[in-house]
Amino acid sequence: MSITTAIVLIQAERGGALADLGDRLAVVDGVAEAYSVTGEWDFVAMVRVGRPEDLARVVTTGIASLDGIGRTQTLLAFEAFSRHDLDALFDIGG
C-alpha cells in the first residue's frame, strides 16, 4: 500500500490558541506528528494518508477547521530521504 505524505505549515491566530493547538493537531485523524517550531510558522504537521484524495479531507476538515488556525500551507512529499531510517536498517545489533 502506498502512503501519501504531506507537510502542513500552520500559523496560529494570536491569543490562547498557541497553548493547546499542538495537542489538538496531534489527535486529528491522518496527522502522524505535530511539532511546534520557530520562525514564520508556529506548527508543522506531518500528514500520512492511504490515498491522495484523503489529504484534502485531513487538511480542510481536520486541520484548517480547528479553532485558532490562522492559515496553512501544504507541501506534498514526492520522495522521502531519512538518515534515521538508513541507520535503523543497518543496525542489526539493536
**How many independent structural domains does the chain possess?**
1
Its domain, for residue 32, covers 4-90
4-12 and 43-49 beta bridge pairing: antiparallel
In the predicted model, what is the mean pLDDT of residues 54-76? 95
pLDDT the model gives residue 14 = 82
Query: Within its chain, how far is the Cα of 18 from the centroid?
Result: 16
Asked if 28 contacts 58 with a C-beta cutoff of 8 angstroms, the reply is yes
Query: What is the H or E stretch that residue 52 is in?
Result: helix 52-57
Confidence of residue 35 (pLDDT cuts 50, 70, 90): very high
Confidence of residue 1 (pLDDT cuts 50, 70, 90): low
In the predicted model, what is the mean pLDDT of residues 7-34? 91
Confidence of residue 38 (pLDDT cuts 50, 70, 90): very high
The CATH number for 73's domain is 3.30.70.920
